[in-house]
Amino acid sequence: MKFKHSIKEVPSLIHEVPSLIKGVPRLINEVQTLIKGVLSLINEARIFIHYFLKLDNQRNKPNTNF
């Protein structure tokens, strides 16, 4: 089994851990923003579909205004 990094590289890899940990909250924030955007898009689609169905129902009703 061959390792990707040699033992000599371990201290420099350990040095990178704090910056990786600092990046986690930013990543979480980006994911939250992405989820909010997707939910907003779903809501807009729901409103559009509701409006479209309302128009379609009005168009299919017989005219009873005599």
pLDDT given for residue 48 in this prediction: 92
The DSSP secondary structure of 8-57, one letter per residue, reads GGHHHHHHHHHHHHHHHHHHHHHHHHHHHHHHHHHHHHHHHHHHHHHHHH
Residues 6+ away with beta carbon under 8 Å from 13: 5
Query: What pTM, to 2 d.p., does this model score?
Result: 0.59
Residue 13 identity (one-letter amino acid)? L
Say if residue 62's pLDDT is above 80.
no
pLDDT given for residue 47 in this prediction: 94
pLDDT, tens only, 8-61: 888 888 888 999 999 999 999 999 999 999 999 999 999 999 998 888 777 777
DSSP-assigned letter for residue 60 = H
